[in-house]
Amino acid sequence: MIFGPQRGPVSADELADHYPWPDRAGRAWVRAMMVSTLDGAGAGADGLSGSISGSADRDVFTAVRRYADAVLVGGGTMASERYGAMKAVSDDAERRAAQGQAEAPRLVVVSGSLDLPMGDDGFLGSTAAPLVLTGSGADPDRVAALEDRCEVVRAPDARVPPQWAIDQLVDRGLWRIVCEGGPTLLRDVSAAGLLDEADLTFSPRLVGTSATPNTDLITDPGAFELTHVLTADHFLMSRYVRASQ
């Protein structure tokens, strides 16, 4: 840690304690996990964020998720990034139980098309059944195909409103939320004023931005304050908290 409350070496086992979940009395705390190159790209030549990541970034990624209640992700990102199952980790069981949490974070997928990978266990093999949030006009056949192995909830609108999505999680006791994108979902959550924390890794690469999607401008962006910076392998891992928190 080169900036923050405890400067000096930080082991992988200690990382999660540097990404604490504040006591919110059941109100949502939403954190985003992102990686960006030096020239602002969110993906490499293959269109995936993993190709601009590294082992240090992946350690932080694991720590940020470790004591979450839910991992919120768009269906397109979940499919393209090849999300696997959210499984219980024995080393975390005692602490999660003491905090009143389930054995593993619940995967929550926002998808209008419901065009999700169903060919093998994949994300469907999670410890807890995934929660799929979709629009009011979702294809009934695709809903039926998912309902055997997921909880599927239709929004009151054609699109899934960010506040409604967060409310669905909180109603299920899932208030520690990691939002992992894609860009449109992250943009919409932020524009709605729902993002409390942004954990941003700067990757020591220049790759160009043609594989990075554009999103609509946020007319009233929120301000964030830097709380710490970690470095390893020439990566910078920064944690920002919304200024009003």
pLDDT of residue 119: 67
Rounded to an integer, what distance in angstroms lies between the CA atom of residue 131 and that of residue 110? 9
Across the range 188-216, mean pLDDT stands at 95
Rounded to the nearest 10 degrees, what angle do helices 162-171 and 183-191 cross at? 90
User: Is the bond preceding residue 182 a cis peptide, omega within 30 degrees?
Assistant: yes
Q: What is the pLDDT of residue 24?
A: 85
For 111-120, letters b (16+ CB in 10 Å) and e give bbebebeeee
Length of the chain: 245
Q: Token match 């768009």: residue?
A: 74
Per-residue pLDDT tens for 147-160? 988 999 999 999 99
The predicted pLDDT at position 122 comes to: 78
Q: What is the DSSP letter of 146?
A: H
pLDDT digits (tens, 9 = 90+) for 44-62: 999 999 999 999 999 999 9
pTM of the model: 0.95
Q: What domains are defined for the chain?
A: 27-221+228-242 (3.40.430.10)
Whose tokens are 């409604």? That residue is 164
Kindly tell me the sign of the dihedral angle through the C-alpha atoms of 230, 8, 90, 98.
negative
Q: Which amino acid, one-letter code, is at 35?
A: V
Long-range own/partner contacts, residues 81-85 (CB < 8 A, 24 or more apart)? 81/48, 81/49, 81/50, 82/122, 83/107, 83/122, 83/123, 84/122, 84/123, 84/125, 85/121, 85/122, 85/123, 85/124, 85/125, 85/126, 85/127
pLDDT digits (tens, 9 = 90+) for 19-44: 999 988 889 999 999 999 999 999 99
